Amino acid sequence: MDILKINNLSFTYSIYNEGGAKPAAGPALKSLSLSVEEGSIVTLCGPTGCGKSTLLKLTKQEIAPEGALDGEIFFEGKKLSLLSPVEQAEKIALLFQNPEDQIVTDKVWHEIAFGLENLGYKRSDTENRIAEILSFFRLESISDENTASLSGGQKQLVLLASLLAISPKLLLLDEPISQLDPEAAEIFLSTLKRLHDQLGITMIIAEHKIESLLPITDKLVLMNKGEIIAQGNPEEVLPAVRKLLPPIDINVRFRRKPGEGNGPEPENSGSSAASEQSKPVLSLRDVYFRYDKNSKDVIRCLSSEFMPGKCYGIFGCNAAGKTTLLNLISGLCKPQEGKISYSVRKPSISYLPQNVDLLFVGNTIRSDLALVGLKPENYPNYVNSFSPDSSPYDLSGGEKQLLALAKITASSPDIILLDEPTKGLDPNMARVMLEELNRFTKNGKTVIMSTHDLNFAYAAADYCSIMSMGRLTAFKPAEEFFRQNKLYSI
Amino acid sequence: MIDRIHPLTLLIYFLYAGMISAFSRNPYMHGLTLICGMIMLFTWNSFRTVARRIPLFLLFFVLISIFNPFFYHNGNTVLFYMAGRRITLEALLFGADSALMVIGVMLWFISLSHYMTGDKVLYLFGRVSAKAATIISLVMRLIPHYVGYIRSYRRHQKLLGLYGDGSFIESVRAEGKIFAGFLTWSLEHSMTTADSMTARGYGVTRRRSFSPFRFRVKDIVILCISVICAAIMTAGIALGGFATEYYPVIVLPAFDLPFISACLVYIISASAIPIISLIKDH
């Protein structure tokens, strides 16, 4: 039986819509038809701006955007608009992309109780549901924690638990894992799988990195420019997806001309004759750092050197200190012992943090870029497609990432630091990012990035290292790094 | 044991035990409040921690005591003259009594703030209004989030050169931009928060606040006893049974049966909980 049936749905945003990123730029959805079988998992994919989110929001009436709607949506054989508000809230749940914005309360148990409180559940029922949910999601041990102290992955899991507490029939997920690191994404997906296997909940997941979702997907739907291009078994649709969103060719680095990156091999000791051609632009010697007087050292006796014209990839698990290292290099934090020295007295350093919102000040993209001296005629190509009068916050996660890249590189800095640069990027955008990084290194800039994205690092980085126990392992040329390592390999 | 008491009971009990004597104008009652408050302090402090605080309390006591005679010169018993003004025994003793009262109340409030944790405060607000509780909970979550954001925001913008050469005017201008930027950011993100709340059914029907706290028989008994004792004491105070006169000469209330029984009622009701808790801990 079909739990959701969409017939010939078309939608155009009204011009005075709050999310005025692309006002009246034609219909967002064009005569779209889709049926979702009860108990199945449907994955929507497609490039940014293809209408995935719009479709999900239209299925959740309370938060449906304003605009001209044509066509019908049926839920359990009933017109969606005929459902009462309580039924809507109870039967259809929606999880958004960014866990930070969705949390309402200050305690984990309270977050899970939130929906139940809203629907006026009796005390004993609420208690029972919370108990069930805490044990199903294995959150019992953190039930008393403050939500502020949780990691991004835990937050998203708590939010999922909070939605499941009202036992919805249909679960909509809007890029649920795009803001999570691989480890957290894996836990999240395995929870989704358990939900599907044990409770048979129907899910519609919008996501552009679909590799990890394929094993649990029953039906794959490819969208582009508001239309469904292909739908069906994942195996059948996958070739079309690959055509529209080709993954990064990891061998791109080997096609670079041999003479291009002619910097010397960096050696940690610097004792050999390696550093004869050019001096390191940045060197760290025996650096120590901790956040609190009484806490543990995050960075422990770290020494390393970075050459101009090279791209460095730093891996390592969460909380290994990668972000702290970038903070130290950028000068946002000061080392408590040891020394960080630069070849130029005051090198210009740019930093793309994990949360790129931190970089935006202006009300519009135009005024924001003007602050760093970028005039419209000098905008990089990849920014040109954004409407310059909209707010930076109206962009999708990946678009924001690119805008931030344009902003930090406007002053043509000597050292560019990137923290998880591919977060939220669809493959086409990741390619833009890769080309930009290659251009910087060609111009003699140093790029240092911390990332979980092995494929991207393999294509972009010249040298790689793992951060562990507060130190960096010796940087190795990327090919060698990926060939020798057992776990970090492609 | 005390941290398991229901928040409402806890609040009423502490307000009764800590505050009632403040209205009595009676040094014996003030002294008893202080002693009971001291016992309460021992339920969550080691002997050493309390002992270390005693000099501070003594200093308070002396300061408040000598403060009064310098401003009030009534009273028949002149101790000495200072700058041509009478310093009287009555004023000094009145000051000492006030000090006793202030410190007694203070001790109870120190313990209250220890036992009344954030979630209990929130629960009490929730009893008043379910909406208020949601908003307070949201605010409690957002404040640390916002503070952290502004801190990083400022540092990253400094790195991007928003602060220019760092001169005063440039800095003021930059701070203005930071503030405006933060407002835009928080508004944009609160839209998603609002959507997430709506999507989870906020406002579709009458909200019922959930809390993990429960009234046990014990909580109800303590609550009732506190309320009844508070009523007895209030009646006694209203009838003037406790009132002490200081000026021109000190007249203490008579040690009659009603007064003594009122004191006993207070001692037993106020100290029973900390004493039982201390015995159980050992």
Q: Cβ A105–B137 below 8 Å, yes or no? A: yes
| Closest to B251 measured CA to CA, from B36, B55, B45, B75 | B75
Nearest CA in chain B to A159: B196
| Closest to B17 measured CA to CA, from B229, B239, B221, B232 | B229
Nearest-10 crossing angle of helices B27-42, B7-19:
140
Average pLDDT, chain A: 86
Q: Cβ B204–A104 below 8 Å, yes or no? A: no
Core vs surface per residue B3-37: b (16+ CB within 10 A) or e: eebbbbbbbbbbebbbebbeebbbbbbbbbbbebb
Q: Which of B160, B162, B175 to mutate to test the interface with A (most CBs of A within 10 A)?
A: B160
With contacts defined as CB-CB under 8 Å, which chain A residues touch B208?
117, 120-123, 126
Give CA separation, A302 vs A286, A299, A393, B16, in Å. Answer: 5, 6, 37, 59
| Closest to A206 measured CA to CA, from A178, A227, A246, A236 | A178
Q: What is the pLDDT of residue A427?
A: 85
Phi, psi of B107 (to 5 degrees): -55, -45
Q: Within 10 A of B169 (CB to CB), how many other CB atoms are there?
A: 9
CB under 8 Å to A178, separation ≥6 — which residues?
A97, A207, A208, A209, A397, A423, A424
Nearest CA in chain A to B119: A107
Give the lowest-confidence range in A101-110, A187-196, A260-269: A260-269
pLDDT band at B153 (very low <50, low <70, confident <90, very high): very high
For B157-185, what is each residue's pLDDT tens digit?
998 888 888 888 988 988 999 999 999 99
For residues A265-288, average pLDDT: 63
Q: What is the pLDDT of residue A16?
A: 53
With contacts defined as CB-CB under 8 Å, which chain B residues touch A126?
208, 210
Q: State how far residue A145 is from chain B, nearest Cα, in angstroms.
A: 11
Q: Which of A57, A58, A63 to mutate to test the interface with B (most CBs of B within 10 A)?
A: A63
For residues B21-29, average pLDDT: 88
Q: Cβ A114–B200 below 8 Å, yes or no? A: yes
Across the A/B interface, how many CB contacts are shorter than 8 Å? 149
Residue of A103, A163, A353 with shortest CB distance to B156: A353
Nearest-10 crossing angle of helices B27-42, B89-115:
30
Q: Which one has a higher pLDDT value, A191 or B84?
A: A191
Nearest CA in chain B to A394: B188
For B30-54, what is each residue's pLDDT tens digit?
999 999 999 999 999 999 999 998 9
| Closest to A228 measured CA to CA, from A461, A40, A29, A361 | A29
For the cut 80, the answer to whether the pLDDT of residue A431 exceeds it is yes
With contacts defined as CB-CB under 8 Å, which chain A residues touch B205?
85-86, 118-120
Give CA separation, A251 vs A203, A457, B282, in Å. Answer: 36, 11, 71
The DSSP output letter for B4 is G
Core vs surface per residue A294-326: b (16+ CB within 10 A) or e: eeebbbbebbbbbbbbbbbbbbbeeebbbbbbb
pLDDT band at A232 (very low <50, low <70, confident <90, very high): very high
* CA separation for the pair A56, A28 (Å, rounded): 12
Q: Cβ B196–A393 below 8 Å, yes or no? A: no
Residue of A100, A109, A163 with shortest CB distance to B200: A163
Q: What is the pLDDT of residue A255?
A: 47
* CA separation for the pair B254, B263 (Å, rounded): 13
Q: Which two tokens stand for residue B199?
A: 């999507």
With contacts defined as CB-CB under 8 Å, which chain B residues touch A351?
156, 159
For residues B8-18, average pLDDT: 95
Q: What is the pLDDT of residue A197?
A: 92
For residues A11-34, average pLDDT: 71
Q: Cβ B188–A391 below 8 Å, yes or no? A: yes
Q: Which of B121, B196, B205, B206 to mutate to test the interface with A (most CBs of A within 10 A)?
A: B196
Q: What is the pLDDT of residue A204?
A: 96
Q: What is the pLDDT of residue A42?
A: 96
Q: Do residues B228 and B235 make contact, with C-beta atoms less than 8 angstroms apart?
A: no
Name the percent of chain A lying above pLDDT 70.
92
Residue of A116, A118, A362 with shortest CB distance to B204: A118
pLDDT band at A269 (very low <50, low <70, confident <90, very high): very low
Q: State how far residue B265 is from chain A, nearest Cα, in angstroms.
A: 37
Q: Which of B129, B159, B162 to mutate to test the interface with A (most CBs of A within 10 A)?
A: B159
**Domain-wise residue ranges, chain B:** 2-116+239-272, 129-228
Q: What is the pLDDT of residue B33?
A: 95
CB under 8 Å to B88, separation ≥6 — which residues?
B69, B73, B74, B75, B76, B77, B78, B79
Q: What is the pLDDT of residue A146?
A: 86
Q: Which of B210, B214, B215 to mutate to test the interface with A (most CBs of A within 10 A)?
A: B210
pLDDT band at B74 (very low <50, low <70, confident <90, very high): confident
For the cut 60, the answer to whether the pLDDT of residue A268 exceeds it is no
pLDDT band at A277 (very low <50, low <70, confident <90, very high): low
Find tokens 């939900």 and name the residue.
Answer: A195
Name the percent of chain A lying above pLDDT 90.
50
pLDDT band at A15 (very low <50, low <70, confident <90, very high): low
N residues, chain B:
282
pTM here is 0.80
For A45-77, what is each residue's pLDDT tens digit?
988 888 898 999 999 988 998 888 899 999 999
For residues B186-195, average pLDDT: 90
Q: What is the pLDDT of residue B70?
A: 85
Q: State how far residue B210 is from chain A, nearest Cα, in angstroms.
A: 6
With contacts defined as CB-CB under 8 Å, which chain A residues touch B204?
85-86, 88-89, 118-119
Q: What is the pLDDT of residue A267?
A: 40
* CA separation for the pair A409, A270 (Å, rounded): 29
* CA separation for the pair A59, A91 (Å, rounded): 11
* CA separation for the pair A179, A100 (Å, rounded): 10
pLDDT band at A257 (very low <50, low <70, confident <90, very high): very low
Q: State how far residue A133 is from chain B, nearest Cα, in angstroms.
A: 16
For the cut 60, the answer to whether the pLDDT of residue A309 exceeds it is yes
CATH of domain A2-244: 3.40.50.300
Which part of chain A is CATH 3.40.50.300?
A: 2-244, 250-348+412-484
Q: Cβ A393–B141 below 8 Å, yes or no? A: no
For the cut 70, the answer to whether the pLDDT of residue A477 exceeds it is yes
* CA separation for the pair A202, A59 (Å, rounded): 13
For the cut 50, the answer to whether the pLDDT of residue B131 exceeds it is yes
CATH of domain A250-348+412-484: 3.40.50.300
Q: What is the pLDDT of residue A274?
A: 42
Nearest CA in chain A to B130: A117
Q: Do residues A283 and A347 make contact, with C-beta atoms less than 8 angstroms apart?
A: no
